[in-house]
Amino acid sequence: MENYVSLWLGCFRDFDELEKYTVIKYNEDGDSIPSIFEKDFKLGYYNRDLIEKDWIPVAEDDIEKLLVDFSYDNQLIQQYKNIKLKCKYNTIVLIYNYNYKKESEIAVSYTHL
Protein backbone atom coordinates (compact mmCIF):
# COMPACT_ATOMS: atom_id res chain seq x y z
CA MET A 1 0.00 0.00 0.00
CA GLU A 2 2.77 2.43 -0.82
CA ASN A 3 1.91 6.10 -1.34
CA TYR A 4 -0.93 5.95 1.18
CA VAL A 5 -1.14 7.66 4.52
CA SER A 6 -3.87 7.09 7.07
CA LEU A 7 -4.49 9.92 9.51
CA TRP A 8 -6.33 10.06 12.84
CA LEU A 9 -7.10 13.11 14.97
CA GLY A 10 -7.99 13.11 18.63
CA CYS A 11 -7.77 14.89 21.96
CA PHE A 12 -5.65 13.67 24.82
CA ARG A 13 -4.83 15.25 28.17
CA ASP A 14 -1.07 15.01 27.55
CA PHE A 15 1.58 13.17 25.55
CA ASP A 16 1.84 10.42 28.19
CA GLU A 17 -1.84 9.60 27.71
CA LEU A 18 -1.26 9.35 23.94
CA GLU A 19 1.74 7.09 24.56
CA LYS A 20 -0.33 4.77 26.77
CA TYR A 21 -2.98 4.59 24.05
CA THR A 22 -0.52 3.72 21.28
CA VAL A 23 2.19 1.71 23.07
CA ILE A 24 2.97 -1.76 21.74
CA LYS A 25 3.78 -4.24 24.50
CA TYR A 26 5.43 -7.64 24.24
CA ASN A 27 4.83 -10.92 26.05
CA GLU A 28 7.51 -13.25 27.46
CA ASP A 29 7.94 -14.90 24.05
CA GLY A 30 8.60 -11.57 22.35
CA ASP A 31 5.26 -11.54 20.54
CA SER A 32 3.68 -8.12 20.24
CA ILE A 33 0.46 -7.24 22.01
CA PRO A 34 -1.60 -4.75 20.00
CA SER A 35 -2.02 -1.26 21.42
CA ILE A 36 -5.40 0.06 22.52
CA PHE A 37 -5.29 2.25 19.39
CA GLU A 38 -4.78 -0.80 17.15
CA LYS A 39 -7.61 -2.67 18.88
CA ASP A 40 -10.05 0.27 18.81
CA PHE A 41 -9.63 0.70 15.07
CA LYS A 42 -9.17 -2.99 14.25
CA LEU A 43 -5.97 -2.23 12.38
CA GLY A 44 -4.61 -4.91 10.14
CA TYR A 45 -0.92 -5.44 9.59
CA TYR A 46 1.14 -2.31 9.08
CA ASN A 47 4.83 -1.54 9.37
CA ARG A 48 5.14 -0.17 12.90
CA ASP A 49 8.27 1.72 11.85
CA LEU A 50 6.07 3.90 9.63
CA ILE A 51 3.91 5.52 12.30
CA GLU A 52 4.27 9.09 13.54
CA LYS A 53 2.29 10.82 16.24
CA ASP A 54 2.25 14.14 18.03
CA TRP A 55 0.45 15.93 20.82
CA ILE A 56 0.27 19.72 21.10
CA PRO A 57 -0.76 21.65 24.22
CA VAL A 58 -3.23 23.94 22.45
CA ALA A 59 -5.88 22.23 20.31
CA GLU A 60 -6.25 23.37 16.68
CA ASP A 61 -8.99 23.20 14.08
CA ASP A 62 -6.54 23.97 11.25
CA ILE A 63 -5.29 20.76 9.63
CA GLU A 64 -2.25 22.57 8.23
CA LYS A 65 -1.04 23.52 11.71
CA LEU A 66 -1.54 19.96 12.92
CA LEU A 67 0.51 18.51 10.04
CA VAL A 68 3.53 20.84 10.26
CA ASP A 69 6.83 19.06 10.97
CA PHE A 70 5.61 15.58 10.06
CA SER A 71 7.40 13.65 7.32
CA TYR A 72 6.13 14.77 3.92
CA ASP A 73 4.22 17.62 5.60
CA ASN A 74 4.11 19.74 2.43
CA GLN A 75 2.50 16.92 0.46
CA LEU A 76 0.11 16.05 3.28
CA ILE A 77 -0.97 19.66 3.73
CA GLN A 78 -1.76 19.85 0.01
CA GLN A 79 -3.79 16.64 0.23
CA TYR A 80 -5.80 17.63 3.31
CA LYS A 81 -5.91 21.45 3.07
CA ASN A 82 -9.54 21.61 1.90
CA ILE A 83 -10.81 19.61 4.86
CA LYS A 84 -12.58 21.82 7.38
CA LEU A 85 -12.39 20.32 10.83
CA LYS A 86 -15.59 20.50 12.88
CA CYS A 87 -13.78 20.81 16.20
CA LYS A 88 -10.32 21.31 17.66
CA TYR A 89 -7.80 18.51 18.11
CA ASN A 90 -4.48 18.29 19.91
CA THR A 91 -3.34 14.87 18.71
CA ILE A 92 -2.48 13.46 15.32
CA VAL A 93 -1.40 9.94 14.34
CA LEU A 94 -0.15 9.08 10.85
CA ILE A 95 0.56 5.62 9.44
CA TYR A 96 2.47 5.71 6.17
CA ASN A 97 1.97 3.08 3.46
CA TYR A 98 -1.27 1.97 5.10
CA ASN A 99 -4.74 2.38 3.61
CA TYR A 100 -7.15 2.17 6.54
CA LYS A 101 -10.63 0.97 5.70
CA LYS A 102 -13.17 1.66 8.41
CA GLU A 103 -15.36 -1.41 8.95
CA SER A 104 -18.04 0.25 11.06
CA GLU A 105 -18.70 3.21 13.31
CA ILE A 106 -16.20 3.19 16.11
CA ALA A 107 -17.25 4.55 19.49
CA VAL A 108 -13.94 6.19 20.29
CA SER A 109 -13.34 9.91 20.60
CA TYR A 110 -10.84 9.85 17.77
CA THR A 111 -11.41 10.79 14.14
CA HIS A 112 -9.98 9.12 11.05
CA LEU A 113 -9.69 11.27 7.92
Q: Is the pLDDT of residue 101 over 80?
A: yes
Domain that holds residue 101: 5-112
Number of domains making up the chain: 1
How far apart CA 55 and CA 109 sit, in angstroms, is: 15
pLDDT number for residue 2: 74
What is the per-residue pLDDT across 37-93, written as a single tens digit (0 to 9) for each?
999 999 989 999 999 999 999 999 999 999 999 999 999 999 888 999 999 999 999
More confident residue, 2 or 83: 83
Of all helices (H) and strands (E), which one includes residue 65? helix 63-67
What is the per-residue pLDDT across 13-34, written as a single tens digit (0 to 9) for each?
999 999 999 999 999 999 999 9
pLDDT band at residue 105 using 50, 70 and 90 as cut-offs: very low
pLDDT band at residue 108 using 50, 70 and 90 as cut-offs: very low
pLDDT number for residue 1: 55
C-alpha separations of 3 from 6, 63, 69, 109 in Å? 10, 20, 19, 27
